[in-house]
A and B are shown apart, each in its own frame.
Chain A
């Protein structure tokens, strides 16, 4: 490791690289690669057709450029679209057979997979580059009829469910990156909670990018049948590298009558160094559909990493009386850029949505909230409440708010509030002069600013999230 890299890894403790033999497809994207990915995964034919159709459409599209972020054009032919540890090449195995080197990697990341040490109360699917390494707590989940496995495994074991739901919330032709993902998606998680079942433990996927020059294109699909509920958590990290790496994921959520899905993300991809070198391009399409009456979908995201974050976890409120929520904390430091927010599309009657967005910009970073609230003509009695707060740390950073309202039903009620504040050295000193050390002072300030969002996270993750933000802020404040 070079000194500079070592220095950086000190700040970003997940910046290490695991040395395992990889099976990589050659760089570049063409129909052959798409077919090869599908073949590697021994997929049913309908999935290959799904990919090919997406790829065909993608080839005719131009990359979108409307986000308030800047980056050089991505050379899509200079990326590996598939990389998997050789030891995983025979497809899903039991956790006992997994390469110890891989298990060690997840240990280091704080996500132990072995029976003895794994997190109580959370089932974990661990994804390493393009494949899932394993999923814990299978027995308990089987008993309840809950399916939680890697996407590849689901394609083999539950093709009918995949066929019924895949692409129904984010169609392959939705946008450029959605099409790209639909053509080359590698692994991710599949969750299916049958009618009436309340999933007894949190489900979690941990995404790890390890290989260089490799994109990660995961695909997650969560379906809750009538009256079912689940809480799902996503975490992610990547090595510190000078190059930029593309992560273009799709997450689709579907909630039937009275179902409830809570999706939480703590995103800590490598964000590049102080000069803006390296880091992940995190371009993600996340969307849920409240298909049934009284269904509920709730997104909570803590976005603390990535050179560029470009994503809008959204909810289509189709069922009457359904509820959509978006709680977000986005922190940018160094030269990171974030353009994130949500879309709440109200279709059903008396649908309700809440948007709470907290942006923290430090150093020379750029942090934008972009959100759309659409009340369609049928959305009688619908309501939205939005609150978008920005906090500036230092005077070289940028914070923006771009709210879009489209109201086509006169009975709909929309409220929007926005504030901008600044953490100053004076605030820190004030707190310190009352006995709080700088860590406690920053934690008080950040917690105060983000508390409405943190309290929606599962407890152990909210502790993690607070620690993560404190660590990132410590260098930038004062």
Chain B
């Protein structure tokens, strides 16, 4: 579904951050990406989502749309979202004045329109929201609040997953969704994410810890260091990183 080859990217007017990433993600797979602070994990996620601050200096990203590989990098951010790419942000943005429910419905209908599916009316959408709220363990009161405004750190993370549940992406990139969640919230959110994983979609989880992976066992784990994937393995790699840190990976690379 996603095929990244030798992807290089930098901040506009800055040095290279991604220095040749290769990554294949197939439908039905769950990947974890780990790596030290500043190694480029969030950069990778934002480049895939189409953030304008980054300039791709080399490489290709193919994303399968209707079974055809498409050049993801040629698409605008909103087109990528409409094609099923979703990024749960490490630091979700606050949007004053726009309520969560208005925002979610606007996004949902924009994606429906782009995919040629009829959009839903306010009533049916409410029913969908109620179901997804329950899945993530959130109550109604968040719907009428402005998007992320004055949400606690953990509430923001949960709100990202609510959006994921509503928008049902084919490729979900979760950037440190586990950081900032308390023990109980982590369980609820992780189980929610797990229930959203199907043979038709794929998930890329960026994380520093094993704890989320205990609920959702990744098929493949990557270690990103200094803008490159230096090691790939099965779920035991995540355990090894957690107990031994990154030095040995660096030494062996």
Contacts and interface: CB of A to CB of B under 8 A. Distances in A.
A444 B93 contact: no
A448 B99 CA distance: 8
B78 A449 contact: no
Given A430-B93, A433-B50, A444 B81 contact: no
Interface in B168-214: none
Contacts of A425: 52-53
Interface string A410-435: 00000000010100111101111111
Interface string B73-99: 000111011100011010011111111
A441 B103 CA distance: 10
B98 A436 contact: no
Contacts of B94: 427
B110 A427 contact: no
A383 to B, nearest CB: 25
Given A432-B50, A436-B107, A448-B146, A427 B97 contact: no
B12 to A, nearest CB: 12
Nearest to A441: B78
B89 A435 contact: no
A445 B49 CA distance: 20
B4 interface: no
A478 interface: yes
A437 B146 CA distance: 20
A451 interface: yes
Contact of A430 (B92, B99, B106): B92
Given A435-B82, A440-B110, A451-B97, A430 B50 contact: no
B93 A426 contact: yes
Contacts of A447: 98
B163 interface: yes
A432 B95 contact: no
B98 A429 contact: no
B114 A448 contact: no
Contacts of B95: 427, 430-431, 445, 448
B51 interface: yes
A446 to B, nearest CB: 9
Contacts of B50: 432-433
Contact of B96 (A421, A436, A441): A421
A449 B107 contact: no
A475 to B, nearest CB: 15
B78 A435 contact: yes
A296 to B, nearest CB: 27
Given A435-B78, A436-B78, A448-B146, A429 B51 contact: yes
Interface residues of B, number: 32
A478 B77 CA distance: 13
Nearest to B91: A426
The A contact surface, by secondary structure, is helix
B146 A436 contact: no
B98 A432 contact: no
Contacts, number: 82
A74 B68 CA distance: 65
A430 B51 CA distance: 9
B40 to A, nearest CB: 18
Contacts of A419: 96
B76 A432 contact: yes
Considering the complex of A and B, which 9 residue pairs feature the smallest CB-CB distances, nearest first?
Answer: A448-B97, A448-B98, A434-B107, A435-B81, A432-B77, A430-B93, A435-B110, A435-B111, A432-B78
B76 A440 contact: no
A20 B153 CA distance: 64
B98 A437 contact: no
Nearest to A425: B52
| Residue of A419, A437, A438, A445 ringed by the most chain B CB atoms within 10 A | A437
Contacts of B53: 425
- Chain A contact-residue range equals 20 to 34
Contacts of A448: 95-99, 102, 146
Given A435-B110, A437-B78, A444-B103, A430 B89 contact: yes
A432 B146 CA distance: 17
Interface in B204-235: none
B167 interface: yes
Contacts of B167: 434-435
Contact of A444 (B82, B92, B98, B111): B98
Contacts of A437: 76, 78, 110
A422 to B, nearest CB: 9
Contact of B163 (A432, A434, A438, A441): A434
A433 B110 contact: no
A393 to B, nearest CB: 13
A166 to B, nearest CB: 42
Contacts of A438: 78
B73 to A, nearest CB: 15
A429 B77 contact: yes
Nearest to B87: A433
Contacts of B114: 435
A433 B107 CA distance: 9
A157 B125 CA distance: 58
Contacts of A427: 93-95
B97 A436 contact: no
A428 to B, nearest CB: 9
Contacts of B92: 430
| Residue of A425, A434, A437, A445 ringed by the most chain B CB atoms within 10 A | A434
Given A444-B102, A448-B146, A478-B52, A432 B81 contact: yes
A445 B97 contact: yes
A85 B96 CA distance: 49
B214 to A, nearest CB: 28
A445 B111 contact: no
B52 A433 contact: no
Interface in A425-478: 425-427, 429-438, 440-441, 444-445, 447-449, 451, 478
Nearest to B81: A435
Contacts of A433: 49-50, 77-78, 80-81, 86-87
Nearest to B104: A434
Contacts of A429: 49, 51-52, 77, 93
B76 A449 contact: no
Given A431-B95, A435-B167, A440-B106, 8 more contacts: A429-B77, A430-B92, A430-B95, A431-B103, A433-B87, A434-B81, A440-B110, A449-B96
